Amino acid sequence: MNSVYTVSQINQYIKSLLDGDRVLGGVMIRGELSNYKVYPSGHHYFSLKDGEGAIRCVMFRREASALRFRPQNGMQVVAFGRVTVFPRDGQYQLYCSQLSPEGVGELHLAFEACKEKLYREGLFDPAHKKPIPRYPARIALITSAAGAAVRDMLRILKARWPMSEIFVLPVRVQGAEAPAEIAAALGWANRYRVADLIITGRGGGSMEDLWCFNDEGVARAIYASEIPVISAVGHEPDVTIADFVADLRAATPSNAAELAVPDQSEVSGGLMQLQRRMQRAMVRQLERAGSRLEQLARRRALTDPMAPIQDRRLLLDYQRERLSGALRRRLSGERERLAALAAGLDAMSPLKVLGRGYAVARKADGTVVRSAGQVAPGDGLSLRVAEGTIFCRVAEGERSQDHGCEEKL
């Protein structure tokens, strides 16, 4: 009777066979790196492949720390290690202890050539990149309708911002037909303006799996899109041509959904904070207005409306008193000045001279006689004295000479 073994027993038996094989215990394998990933633990996981097959590999942190180069997908390398089975899942793999570069694979060369060409044409220019709308109303997902990536994006978009309307434009994201379908979907979305934002991508995979997003036609369709495009291809270490051309690159499809829309809880919290700030501002403004109103209410102009008029009356009386006093002082000064001038005029008055015994002689026509030569004997004169006028007639006269002699008329 044949024995019945458990799965673990078979896996362990195969492991013991492989571990006991002299060739597999220390083998060197040449191949192309693919799906290379570094985990937070420090362990490196990758595949080695050639044109007909592939083998899974792992390099633990201690051995990986001795690497003298940075492994990249597409590189031709030579790996040394032992081939054995991991009993938990029954898959055999190479436990790599040494890794050295040998060359670059064909896919990697094609990637670099396309990247250089599009870079020179300006398709990667940051100046051409469009801003991502902050609150997109409609979002188009250009990806496989059957993949886990689209389910993750729909779940995250609905949870973060359910106000956005989501359109799924199903395309193939792997294989020879995929590039044409992706480029056509991008063109259709722009032609009919079906969305404010486009997310295109797929989940992780090998370089071959992601190759449609390295296609030149897809890159040019993304560049020509008038709608902003987020590229979400593979996992964080995976880089494609689409990532360089897109307006924004997301590390994963889930990350693309997070970048595409805001978190409704954060927006709600921000709005509540703004509401509280507005309320506090309004309370402060009302308090200031109330305090101002109280100050105005206590003013005398409101408590006693006649007070300003009375104050103006007092001011008017004060100004009138000032003007009256100034006028009185001015008049007093002018009176004193007039009296002084009058006294001076009085002292020089002809009447004062006449009072001292002098007289003013005038001819009949009123001309004042200043010299004896102005009259002749027989002329009538009027003599103005201090107390009246004397009328007389000239009998004779004497005229003074310049040299002091007198001449009789």
pLDDT digits (tens, 9 = 90+) for 150-169: 999 999 999 999 999 999 99
Is there a contact between 43 and 58 (Cβ–Cβ < 8 Å)?
yes
pLDDT of residue 405: 35
Residues in the chain: 409
pLDDT of residue 47: 93
Of the candidates 288, 300, 294, 198, the one whose C-alpha atom is nearest the C-alpha of residue 246 is 198
What 8-state DSSP symbol labels residue 96?
E
- H/E element, 79: strand 75-86
pLDDT of residue 192: 96
Which tokens go with 307? 């007070």
Give the residue range(s) of CATH 3.40.50.2300 domains in the chain.
122-264
pLDDT of residue 409: 45
CATH code of the domain occupying 122-264: 3.40.50.2300
| pLDDT averaged per 10 residues, the chain (length 409) | 80 86 87 92 92 91 84 88 88 90 68 89 96 97 94 96 96 94 97 97 87 95 97 89 96 96 94 94 94 84 77 87 91 91 78 74 86 84 84 78 43
What is the arrangement of strands in the sheet containing 248-250, beginning at the earlier edge strand? 165-170, 138-143, 197-202, 229-233, 248-250
CA gap 361, 370 in Å, rounded = 8
Distance (Å) of CA 102 to CA 69, 277, 325: 12, 64, 117
pLDDT of residue 344: 81
pLDDT of residue 104: 52
CA gap 384, 350 in Å, rounded = 10
> Beta strand 27-38 with 75-86: parallel, antiparallel or unpaired?
antiparallel
Per CATH, which fold does 7-104 belong to? OB fold (Dihydrolipoamide Acetyltransferase, E2P) (2.40.50)
Give residue 281's identity as a one-letter amino acid code.
Answer: A
Which tokens go with 12? 């362990």
pTM beyond 0.75: the answer is: no
pLDDT of residue 407: 40
Of the candidates 266, 247, 252, the one whose C-alpha atom is nearest the C-alpha of residue 159 is 266
Q: How far apart are the first and last CA of the chain?
A: 202
Give the residue range(s) of CATH 2.40.50.140 domains in the chain.
7-104
pLDDT of residue 408: 44
CA gap 359, 369 in Å, rounded = 11
pLDDT of residue 208: 83
